[in-house]
Chains A and B, each alone.
Chain A
Amino acid sequence: MANFFPRWSNWLPLKIAICGVVMICGLTAGTWYYVTPKYTRVGYQPIQPVPFPHDIHVSQLGMDCRYCHSFVDVAAYSNLPNTQTCMACHTQVQKDNPKLEPVRASWKTGQPVEWVQLHRTPDYVYYDHSAHVNRGISCASCHGQVNHMPVVYHAKPHSMAWCLECHRHPENFLRPETQITNLDWKPEHEDVGAFIAKYGQPAEAKDDWSKKPRLTQQEIGQTLKERWNIQPPLNCQGCHR
């Protein structure tokens, strides 16, 4: 009786198994990487009605974030500037720039400019800006170096795991309250003597930190966390109501 199965078919089950494993692993790895906010959200840069250059306004002109986002430290939402705010300067400066046409049209007609939403939390997430910016968390921690963005884009993933990263270890992100809107601030910029004089140092720190040439983020964060009694909520109700 002839062989029904040719010789090469002996290895077929193994090949299929290996192929299957590779495919499943590949699919998993692909999903792991591509279907997370780290990939789907970061880098999102929609076309805005006016390509507002944050870099010019903040880095070149030295405007503070709160000039336009005026309620960020009192309300849950960080508001967008209304047309009136734009026109406060642009009736004088760049008043014929064609890129600003939508703003001028809005001023004339009373119809607001429709900006495209970039950072979007789900409806069941209740994020509060004022609770963060008043307590040592900088704009840059969540929005990146907006002051260097010609057109603003999504810089951080804003996933729940990412939120919890900071809520578990706030010392990695806290900075002095005067530096919140200074998006270029680095821990090494901090004057050690002045910092220790103002905030002291954690009780458990043995050595005298004021002798150090510079402070690390952890040291600054640890100091502020203790001094300001920072206890970010780790429970559902902190963000979901």
Chain B
Amino acid sequence: MKRIFEHPPEQLTGKRYWRSLGELSDTPEFRGWLEREFPAGAAQLEGDDWSRRGFLKLMGASMALAGFGLTSCRRPEAHLVPFTKSVEWAIPGKSLYYATAMPRRTGAIPLVVTTHDGRPTKIDGNPLHPASGGATDAFAQASILDLYDPARSKRFVEKGERDEGGKKKENFEVRDRAAFDKYLGELRTKIAADGGAGLAFLVEEVHSPTRERLRVELQKLYPKMRWCVYDPLLTEAQSFATDMSFGPNVRLVPRLERADIVLALDNDFLDCGDGDIAAVRAFSSRRRVGAAKDTMNRLYVVENRYTLTGAMADHRLRCPASQIPEFALALAGKVAAATKDAGLFSTIATLKPFGGPGTKSGEEEAAAKFEEEWLNGVVADLVSKPGASLILAGSHQPVVVQFLAYAINSALKNLGTTLLVREFARTPKTNSIIQLALDINADRVKQLFIFGGDPVYNAPRALTQHKETKAALDWIDLQKMVPDVIRLGHFEDATSAISRWHVPAAHYLEAWGDARTSEGAYLAIQPMILPLFDGMSEIEMMNALLGAPKAEGPELVQETFRASAPPGEFATAWSRLLRDGFASHIELKDKPPTFNSNNAGGVAHTLWAPAPPPTMDSPEIVLVRSYAMDDGRYANNGWLQELPDPITKLTWDNAALMSPAFAKLIGVRTGDLVNVSVTEKTLDPAGNAVKRELVIAALVSPGHCDTSITIPLGYGRKHTGPVGEEAGFNGYLLRTTSNPHFIRADGKTIDNVKVTKAGGTYPLSITQDHWSIEGRGLVREATIEKYREDPEFVKKIAGDDELPAAIPSLYSHPALDAPQQWGMAVDLNVCTGCSACIVACQSENNIPVVGKLQVSHGRAMHWLRLDRYYASEKPFNQDLGEYPENPEIVHEPMMCQHCENAPCETVCPVNATVHSEDGLNVMAYNRCIGTRYCANNCPFKVRRFNYFDYNQRPVGKKEILGVSVYQEYLGPLTTKGAADTVKLQKNPNVTVRMRGVMEKCTYCVQRIEEAKIAAHVRAGASNNTRIPRDSFTSACAQACPSDAIVFGDVNDPESRVSLMKKQDRNYRLLEYLNVKTRTSYLARIRNPNPKMPDASRIAVASLGQGHESLEHVSADREHSKEHEHTEAEPKSEEKP
């Protein structure tokens, strides 16, 4: 029977999935992105009058002329250069793997680094250690590019005469290590003269036991020295609250795998970029459902902006960040009433909520009522699971919130079960940057060592007042007061520019070291390569300052390790440490959890400062960590700059995030510039109120709190290198010591906060509409209840169940007859959208960075993209002033689906893309002539075209005719060729593609082939050439912290991917096109609490209310369909 298939109709009722406000209101711009594979004009040369055709004519003529000369017709002579002497372990062409660790603010991540011929090329997690479990985050993946950054500091620099005799002449002299050592020797005698009274250190938090040991030794030598730890995103609040509540030297370790109910108060614990991959793994272990009978945890999130955690939430409440204390207090009150816990009562006894003006508008009343009901629902749920719930407060929330969270956890009996109190030695005698500023201002600091960081850029503004003029002093002013400043930095940045000495810092892949994980385990850091630019590590510098002989190898770390008393012979223990990457003999101790409510209550009472909630007229400004730049340390990292923000999909910039309602109020749209001005109560010497202003682009972000503006930090950092210097706006300019995380008109230090339209626009490269696919059941979700009612619900979406099971293909396809067939499954239920997979793919597959302008043209090269869908109950008509204020978010990783009936293959005129017998849709770059037919025929829009030679002409500042111009691509005008160091990073097993070539996800074919070859070598003269089950995986699957992506042999019924695909949540995209994708998705399941006021609108399946009507239709056809199913069973995609 002939059947004509039409695209399944879009549901008019029920839930809608959309990517942007543009899609919701169906703007022409969005239609453009949707209907075309490449946007209009994507094939045009940018910014001049030439058409591509004209350019080709001209180039053709020059090529023809060049041909007459018959140049380069000789065979070039190449040389093979073996080693002189054998190098231990080195086999040319074989990669070696070393265990090491990446130091981070909250604790190090154990890693395994792949090196090829002595150069590290890829970073992965250390599967032996639970702190990573083999997974990584985007920062760890991208840090390898930092190692090879050609803009890294390469030289010792001494600054000559500074500001003397009225002459502001500064001369920078390039020195070498010997000159620095000589200077350091002289400095040591100066320091020793007064016992180190003038000596100060400003360092970042790296959790290195060796650095701590050397600090103690320095302290012995120079007893009066100061040690100051400053990290802009590290707060004292949490550690202070922990000290008060549980005693000194402890750290709280959440055990998310034991928690049934999790409430996150402005806590983004699923952001593994903060270093805690174990938390993501633990959370997702309770999120995963194998079958309808499985249970899952429930996540409540209260936050002002959409975070990764908020996107995973079952219930999410928008609340200004500065109102979290009030919320926590209300929560504590209700929990106390429900549990009758004396400790909690005593903690909150004296705390009173803010008594604001009594009159409320109807809307506010409704909001307050909703919030009240919401809170009641949460409390009832929490109380019902004593000892199996968990309340987590954001680390940047004030001390009071931390106390309240601990007290509530204690009342709910979570201490010791879901929240452990772990012994964790902290550095005593640590000063804050404010104390250091006071000392500098009082001329007590003569020698200052700055390790890493960039305080000129990221220190709080107005650290102290000048002792005479009373003018506010920023770090830049303070640092100039110190005569001897020695800076150890990765870049010659703003801080180095005003230091006496700048010393290049060694990357963590270049130096010996050690570090602790966030839970306290001891990790070794070993160098993969000698310092590329002669850099020094922190511990080397401290060792030199001690006057000890130069450490050539791991002696400094060995000494620390020896002190930990490893069992057995030391040399063996040391080798074991390096092999495993961690010391297993150091046991982590938990303390009995006793919450000191008296202490907590007392301190909370003095610190409690209720304030009026922010309003639309005077919103709060929330300064947060950027998902791509961290605190700005990755500013020159092209991979991270180009990584779309997981929520906003913004690349290369930050922006002021605001809700649609707020944007409407001040009359701005995404890309318009807004003026953020903060007027303080303090007066400058002239008697005017201090005013801090920042002009920044606005970005309308659905799901954002209406009375709050979020500005990600880490952008606008000039002086790092050509990649990042034009990117974004510097949020640190608004940051002061009294308001480091959120700024609101509290009536004490801040008079008012104004956000107004500044006029003018700023080009933002947002990828949310790029590669859009019309919604035909692409993302599917349901509540767990719906899932239990109907485990087969995914099959009823987009008419999948109405399709005959075997549709014949028009084309003939080669047989898929290899014994092992590759496939992938993506579990949307545990995908947090963290984007580690994108960077892992970029690192593994030599994917170039294209630059902001190219991204805006839709030419980003990422093989793997993360589609972020907003989901809301109904369509909105923005013309009528309707805005989706609180949508949900679903993330969907999208890469080549490796269709068995691939539409791209049938249109390639040169057979450059064909199918292999093991089910891969392969791409032969050297055959591709760049017609782009394949991409136009791809229903998933996953093919990427090299419009330019992105590898040969990298992004950044270019010298053109002696003038330096910031432009991503100026074709033949710029010099060709990437920096040598960047070439070192490339994976030698993947072709570096050139201009005019199509590319796409290959399922990491190099890894498949490597595994195959290894199996063949192992087989030798025998016939067992089978690759062992799940013995390798693709780069994205390897990096995924929540194991959402699983890759393997779909022919093997016991492989992990086959087990995933067997689940009833499994579905394939655009099934009705009969493309037979090899990648399938597992539907998202949410676990809302039916007693919550918003329960009815959460994850109401992709079918929503339309479900019933569709069911009627499908019921009619039930008969014939079942018949077809049975007869087609053997041919279905899961091969027996």
Chain A residues near B (Cβ < 8 Å) = 40, 44, 46, 71, 73-77, 79-84, 106-107, 110-117, 120, 122-124, 126, 128, 130-131, 134-136, 176-177, 227-229, 231, 233, 235-238, 240-241
In order of increasing CB-CB distance, the 10 nearest A-B pairs are: A229-B1023, A77-B93, A235-B916, A236-B924, A117-B78, A177-B1021, A80-B82, A82-B83, A114-B79, A76-B93
Determine the distance from Cα of A106 to Cα of B85 in the docked complex, in whole angstroms.
Answer: 10
The stretch among B63-71, B795-803, B936-944, B1009-1017 that forms the contact with chain A is: B1009-1017
Asked if B77 lies at the interface with its beta carbon under 8 angstroms from chain A, I say yes
Residues facing A in B79-105 (CB within 8 A) are 79-86, 91-94
Pairwise interchain contact A74-B77, C-beta atoms closer than 8 A: no
Identify which of B91, B917, B1020 contacts A235 (C-beta below 8 A). B917
| Chain A, residue nearest B1008 (CB) | A237
Which residues from chain A contact B1009 at a C-beta distance below 8 Å?
A: 126, 237-238, 241
Which residues from chain B contact A75 at a C-beta distance below 8 Å?
A: 91-94
| Chain B, residue nearest A123 (CB) | B991
Which residues from chain A contact B471 at a C-beta distance below 8 Å?
A: none
Please name 17 further chain A to chain B contacts, defined as beta carbons within 8 Å, in addition to the given A134-B1021, A241-B990, A241-B991, sorted by A numbering. Answer: A40-B75, A46-B77, A71-B94, A84-B85, A84-B86, A112-B81, A114-B80, A134-B1019, A135-B1019, A177-B1020, A231-B1025, A233-B916, A236-B927, A237-B1009, A238-B1009, A240-B924, A240-B991
Determine the distance from Cα of A167 to Cα of B516 in the docked complex, in whole angstroms.
Answer: 52
Asked if B914 lies at the interface with its beta carbon under 8 angstroms from chain A, I say yes
Pairwise interchain contact B82-A71, C-beta atoms closer than 8 A: no
Identify which of A114, A134, A176 contacts B1016 (C-beta below 8 A). A134
B1025-1049 vs A: 1/0 string, CB under 8 Å? 1000000000000000000000000
Pairwise interchain contact A241-B926, C-beta atoms closer than 8 A: no
Mostly helix, strand, loop or mixed at chain A's interface? loop
| Chain A, residue nearest B924 (CB) | A236
Minimal beta-carbon separation of A158 from chain B (angstroms): 13
Determine the distance from Cα of A231 to Cα of B1026 in the docked complex, in whole angstroms.
Answer: 12
Determine the distance from Cα of A176 to Cα of B1021 in the docked complex, in whole angstroms.
Answer: 8
| Chain A, residue nearest B1018 (CB) | A134
Pairwise interchain contact B78-A237, C-beta atoms closer than 8 A: no
| Chain A, residue nearest B94 (CB) | A75
Number of A-B contacts (CB under 8 A): 135
Pairwise interchain contact B78-A110, C-beta atoms closer than 8 A: no
Identify which of A73, A80, A84 contacts B80 (C-beta below 8 A). A80
Which residues from chain A contact B992 at a C-beta distance below 8 Å?
A: 123
Determine the distance from Cα of A76 to Cα of B1012 in the docked complex, in whole angstroms.
Answer: 13
Pairwise interchain contact A135-B1020, C-beta atoms closer than 8 A: yes
Asked if B603 lies at the interface with its beta carbon under 8 angstroms from chain A, I say no
Which residues from chain B contact A76 at a C-beta distance below 8 Å?
A: 93-94, 1013
Minimal beta-carbon separation of B3 from chain A (angstroms): 33
Chain B residues near A (Cβ < 8 Å) = 75, 77-86, 91-94, 914, 916-917, 920, 922-927, 989-992, 1002, 1005-1006, 1008-1009, 1013, 1016-1017, 1019-1025
Pairwise interchain contact B79-A235, C-beta atoms closer than 8 A: no
Given contacts A44-B75, A117-B78, contact A236 B914 (CB under 8 A): yes
Determine the distance from Cα of A117 to Cα of B91 in the docked complex, in whole angstroms.
Answer: 19
| Chain B, residue nearest A119 (CB) | B80
Which residues from chain A contact B914 at a C-beta distance below 8 Å?
A: 235-236
Determine the distance from Cα of A234 to Cα of B1023 in the docked complex, in whole angstroms.
Answer: 19
Q: For A83, A122, A128, which residue has the most chain B Cβ atoms within 10 angstroms?
A: A128
Pairwise interchain contact B926-A82, C-beta atoms closer than 8 A: no
Q: For B79, B925, B1002, which residue has the most chain A Cβ atoms within 10 angstroms?
A: B79
Minimal beta-carbon separation of A100 from chain B (angstroms): 15
Given contacts A130-B1017, A236-B924, A241-B990, contact A116 B78 (CB under 8 A): yes
Can you list 28 A-B contacts (CB < 8 A)?
A44-B75, A46-B77, A71-B93, A74-B94, A76-B93, A79-B92, A80-B80, A82-B83, A82-B85, A83-B83, A106-B84, A111-B84, A112-B82, A112-B83, A113-B82, A116-B78, A116-B80, A117-B78, A117-B79, A117-B80, A228-B1022, A229-B1023, A229-B1024, A229-B1025, A233-B916, A237-B1002, A241-B989, A241-B1002
Given contacts A177-B1020, A235-B917, contact A241 B80 (CB under 8 A): no
| Chain B, residue nearest A111 (CB) | B84
Which residues from chain B contact A40 at a C-beta distance below 8 Å?
A: 75
Pairwise interchain contact A112-B78, C-beta atoms closer than 8 A: no
Minimal beta-carbon separation of B885 from chain A (angstroms): 48
Determine the distance from Cα of A177 to Cα of B1020 in the docked complex, in whole angstroms.
Answer: 8
Pairwise interchain contact A124-B991, C-beta atoms closer than 8 A: yes
Given contacts A74-B1017, A229-B1023, contact A84 B989 (CB under 8 A): no
Which residues from chain B contact A241 at a C-beta distance below 8 Å?
A: 989-991, 1002, 1005-1006, 1009
Identify which of A46, A83, A134 contacts B84 (C-beta below 8 A). A83
Pairwise interchain contact B1017-A131, C-beta atoms closer than 8 A: yes
Which residues from chain A contact B916 at a C-beta distance below 8 Å?
A: 233, 235-237
Minimal beta-carbon separation of B129 from chain A (angstroms): 29
Which residues from chain B contact A74 at a C-beta distance below 8 Å?
A: 91, 94, 1017
Minimal beta-carbon separation of B130 from chain A (angstroms): 33
Pairwise interchain contact B91-A71, C-beta atoms closer than 8 A: yes
Determine the distance from Cα of A131 to Cα of B86 in the docked complex, in whole angstroms.
Answer: 24
Which residues from chain B contact A46 at a C-beta distance below 8 Å?
A: 77
Given contacts A71-B92, A79-B82, contact A134 B1002 (CB under 8 A): no
Determine the distance from Cα of A40 to Cα of B82 in the docked complex, in whole angstroms.
Answer: 27
Which residues from chain A contact B925 at a C-beta distance below 8 Å?
A: 124, 240
Pairwise interchain contact B91-A83, C-beta atoms closer than 8 A: no
Which residues from chain A contact B93 at a C-beta distance below 8 Å?
A: 71, 75-77
Given contacts A114-B79, A117-B79, contact A82 B86 (CB under 8 A): yes
Given contacts A124-B925, A124-B926, A130-B1017, contact A110 B84 (CB under 8 A): yes
Minimal beta-carbon separation of B323 from chain A (angstroms): 54
Determine the distance from Cα of A77 to Cα of B1024 in the docked complex, in whole angstroms.
Answer: 24
Which residues from chain A contact B1022 at a C-beta distance below 8 Å?
A: 228
Determine the distance from Cα of A107 to Cα of B1002 in the docked complex, in whole angstroms.
Answer: 45
Determine the distance from Cα of A237 to Cα of B814 in the docked complex, in whole angstroms.
Answer: 15
Determine the distance from Cα of A111 to Cα of B1021 in the docked complex, in whole angstroms.
Answer: 40
Determine the distance from Cα of A110 to Cα of B926 in the docked complex, in whole angstroms.
Answer: 39
Determine the distance from Cα of A41 to Cα of B1106 in the docked complex, in whole angstroms.
Answer: 69
Identify which of A44, A113, A126, A227 contacts B989 (C-beta below 8 A). A126
Minimal beta-carbon separation of B588 from chain A (angstroms): 40
Which residues from chain A contact B922 at a C-beta distance below 8 Å?
A: 235-237, 240
Pairwise interchain contact B924-A131, C-beta atoms closer than 8 A: no
Pairwise interchain contact A120-B91, C-beta atoms closer than 8 A: no
Pairwise interchain contact B91-A82, C-beta atoms closer than 8 A: no
Pairwise interchain contact A130-B1013, C-beta atoms closer than 8 A: yes
Which residues from chain B contact A123 at a C-beta distance below 8 Å?
A: 991-992
Determine the distance from Cα of A61 to Cα of B453 in the docked complex, in whole angstroms.
Answer: 63
Pairwise interchain contact B1023-A228, C-beta atoms closer than 8 A: yes
Determine the distance from Cα of A103 to Cα of B77 in the docked complex, in whole angstroms.
Answer: 20
Q: For A112, A126, A229, A241, which residue has the most chain B Cβ atoms within 10 angstroms?
A: A241
Pairwise interchain contact B1019-A84, C-beta atoms closer than 8 A: no
Q: For A83, A122, A128, A237, which residue has the most chain B Cβ atoms within 10 angstroms?
A: A237
Determine the distance from Cα of A236 to Cα of B92 in the docked complex, in whole angstroms.
Answer: 25
Minimal beta-carbon separation of B924 from chain A (angstroms): 4
